[in-house]
């Protein structure tokens, strides 16, 4: 679990709605949002049972951005995978 901040910059044309009428406005506005997130992953350290100095993990993450331009939550998800090689010099220092 975590929390972060995101600064979103709007560089494209944006629309403003007022009483059913839409108007294009050209602005270079930005908005700061709070991002709570949840990540949970599985991994395996191959060096524990073999001589292969590799570590692997797979981690899905879910993010919610509050507040976006519409004052609502904006959600997204990601799947992160990594293969980590640990050189012999570093493994000797870790022991």
DSSP 3-state of 47: helix
Find the distance separating the first CA and the last CA of the chain, reported in whole Å. 30
The pLDDT confidence band at residue 58, using thresholds 50, 70 and 90, is very high
- In tens, the pLDDT along 60-94 reads 988 887 766 566 677 888 898 999 888 877 656 66
Q: Is the pLDDT of residue 34 over 90?
A: no
CA–CA distance, 93 with 18 (Å, rounded to integer): 64
Confidence of residue 42 (pLDDT cuts 50, 70, 90): very high
**Which residue in 70, 73, 64 sits closest to 35, CA to CA?**
64
């Amino acid at each position: 679990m975590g929390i972060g901040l995101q600064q979103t910059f709007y560089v494209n044309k944006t629309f403003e709605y007022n009483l059913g009428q839409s108007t294009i406005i050209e602005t270079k506005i930005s908005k700061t949002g709070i991002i709570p997130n949840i990540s949970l992953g599985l991994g395996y350290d191959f060096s524990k049972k073999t001589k292969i100095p590799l570590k692997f993990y797979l981690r899905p993450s879910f993010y919610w951005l509050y507040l976006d331009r519409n004052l609502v939550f904006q959600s997204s998800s990601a799947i992160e995978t990594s293969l980590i090689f640990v050189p012999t010099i570093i493994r000797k220092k870790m022991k």
